[in-house]
Structure 1
């Protein structure tokens, strides 16, 4: 673009983890001379129960242009469906007032699903980040992510396998861009807490091993959430009794999340030695904890079922104990140990992260399957230069199996 007004890019964010991954994109859009961003903040960002991470966004120096409250009861499946409906209504109001040229939405969250529905039905082209990934393990994420892809007009994927899946859905090849995982760019720049900052804020003894634990609900296993978190926290108690430091963080605000929070608070209330609970560490501190794994004299493990344990830990050489089915099917490095919801199995896997020299060496040298470099800048450049016309808005289905005279299998 040249000699033209800046394109207005609406960027939607609905929770803390999502924002941390979007940071390099927002920064790149902000720095691009032909683009102007408007930030729509919603979901758990505005909820005190989840750390009100709106403040983290403002602390990073970004202006927030719209706050969209989506009421969500983290103890009900019905509430998720209701939140998608009310979210669509509220977000469409903002879009009608602001009329952005393009909308950027991330991954597979129900809040983002509402944003995609609103924008696509208002002829606002949608750029979907991280489509085509797989999490086959019982969460509704796959269904939501793929639905968001089909409603979107541009696709920015983290890996070639994901791009191939989107092409397999019939999306036109020119719409699909393999750019890598944006968060790795931020990590590569060293934008995380230093060792001193981590130890001062979390009061850690780096001479002793420690665990960073986050467990989310699996929405299709809603009735098992309580049993699952009890097993995992029993493992954390076992480790704490052996002198291992445990940092617990709140889950996201999915259905079933309140059950997890209640159990976390119950454990925190016991005031057990070596266990601390935080609603949110924030991206800067969270990555700073994982980064301590770069020091071979420090023992740290990421434990739970968060995607960060799969996608963000390899760049730090940090071992991960992945619990349950939530991340099943997701592309991963060699630093991940998969376990069931069994306290003994979880505890043994954590100890392997600390004591198995061969595995620790694998972790420190594992390749990151999501890193390509410069994802945020690539995305911003495409947003600035893509032609916004009927070709962009009108989706065509281009299945490889379709031929002029019929179908073949």
Structure 2
């Protein structure tokens, strides 16, 4: 039997570090279909939202992502300025060269901006990681999620919770596709290739004898007193083991102003995907305010403490290794006591987090557009 013939051009939107991990396996899945003589192609669009090499460039190299077909060059500025720049750039591209579908991932500014622009240009939108909600409107990402899903045609979800969120907001069942988690596709593919970062030998790290920390949310790092209280509680309750802290550029400035320094606190520049996950996989635990990292720790079975009052990924708590500590620094001590006593939960892996999500997404798109 000859393969079915399609003639479909998909715009893949990537603008910030989390996007690249989600786009990479979708590109792989499309290329697999192309090998079967299926007429599907993609146009990789880098919005330029993250323009620092440490925040984006190395991810293209490490994850085998091809050079972008287009770079909108949005650059820095406020969220409104970035949104406007991305929308203007993408609109011009679509006016000149329209596509059949705009596929956006996650919840960054680029996701929302391109989804709205495409829909206004009468191009359907598919949202990967649709339906996740934190309920916290103070988070810019939550506004991005709500706005994106409001103009989405096809919803690809990571969990039953996300499915329910969408149904409760009035989305019809036939537009919701429970496919799993593309982040885990990337994790499982590249896990054998994780690379030991230079800090490992520089400070003499040992497997299971250090903690990885990431902090970047404004609620934790923008106010000096809050950040200092968090750092003091963390350092006072982690016994004498090293902490490795890849520092987000926003956080680095504030830490410098505070003059925070401990011999066993190793602050390093943002790491590449392979180096960072090598650290996570071999750590005792992770302290973070990121959402994506809680998914990776869940699959790798690493205890994770999230310094937030809410999470858009509740399955990492109900099923995985993550615990939501909140933003009160006093919650850190009992969590550390639980960790060091060996009583942290083991967790399990959520349904369909199996490394095959991107294949399910592309197959579903081919069915929809046949």
Using the TM superposition, give the Cα deviation of residue 193 of structure 1 relative to its aligned residue in structure 2, in angstroms: 4.3
**Inter-partner Cα distance in structure 2 for 1:106 and 1:174:** 20
Give 1:66's match in structure 2, choosing from 62, 65, 70: 70
Q: Equivalences for 1:119-130 in 2 at 5 Å?
A: 119-130=118-129
Using the TM superposition, give the Cα deviation of residue 348 of structure 1 relative to its aligned residue in structure 2, in angstroms: 4.7
**Inter-partner Cα distance in structure 1 for 2:68 and 2:52:** 16
> 1:289 aligns to what?
279
SS of the residue corresponding to residue 196 of structure 2 reads helix
CA RMSD across the alignment? 2.9
SS of the residue corresponding to residue 312 of structure 1 reads helix
> 1:229 aligns to what?
227
The answer to whether the 8 Å contact 2:24/2:65 transfers is no
Using the TM superposition, give the Cα deviation of residue 313 of structure 1 relative to its aligned residue in structure 2, in angstroms: 1.1
Using the TM superposition, give the Cα deviation of residue 21 of structure 1 relative to its aligned residue in structure 2, in angstroms: 2.8
> 2:294 aligns to what?
310
**Inter-partner Cα distance in structure 2 for 1:66 and 1:265:** 36
> 2:172 aligns to what?
172
**Inter-partner Cα distance in structure 2 for 1:44 and 1:265:** 25
> 1:349 aligns to what?
335
Using the TM superposition, give the Cα deviation of residue 64 of structure 1 relative to its aligned residue in structure 2, in angstroms: 1.1
**Inter-partner Cα distance in structure 2 for 1:224 and 1:45:** 19
SS of the residue corresponding to residue 22 of structure 1 reads helix
Deviation sequence 1:81-107 (CA, Å, 0-9, x none)? 222122211121223333221111012
The answer to whether the 8 Å contact 1:192/1:287 transfers is no
Give 1:263's match in structure 2, choosing from 236, 254, 262: 254
SS of the residue corresponding to residue 96 of structure 1 reads helix
Question: Is residue 39 from structure 1 mapped to residue 44 from structure 2 by the alignment?
Answer: yes
SS of the residue corresponding to residue 216 of structure 1 reads coil
Deviation sequence 1:331-367 (CA, Å, 0-9, x none)? 32352233244445325523532x22232xx22x434
> 2:60 aligns to what?
57
SS of the residue corresponding to residue 12 of structure 1 reads strand
Aligned residues: 359
**Inter-partner Cα distance in structure 2 for 1:250 and 1:131:** 29
> 1:217 aligns to what?
217
Using the TM superposition, give the Cα deviation of residue 122 of structure 1 relative to its aligned residue in structure 2, in angstroms: 1.0
SS of the residue corresponding to residue 357 of structure 1 reads coil
The 3 A distance-change label for structure 1 pair 329 and 385 is closer
**Inter-partner Cα distance in structure 2 for 1:236 and 1:262:** 19
The 3 A distance-change label for structure 1 pair 44 and 264 is farther
The answer to whether the 8 Å contact 1:192/1:284 transfers is no
The 3 A distance-change label for structure 1 pair 272 and 97 is farther
**Inter-partner Cα distance in structure 1 for 2:158 and 2:129:** 6
The 3 A distance-change label for structure 1 pair 38 and 281 is same
Give the unaligned 5+ runs of structure 1: 74-78, 252-256, 293-298, 389-409
> 1:296 aligns to what?
none
Q: Equivalences for 1:244-283 in 2 at 5 Å?
A: 244-251=241-248, 258=250, 260-266=251-257, 272-283=262-273
**Inter-partner Cα distance in structure 2 for 1:278 and 1:384:** 43
The 3 A distance-change label for structure 1 pair 316 and 325 is same
SS of the residue corresponding to residue 50 of structure 2 reads helix
Q: Equivalences for 1:382-397 in 2 at 5 Å?
A: 382-387=364-369
Q: TM-score, normalising length from structure 2?
A: 0.85
> 1:92 aligns to what?
91
Give the unaligned 5+ runs of structure 2: none
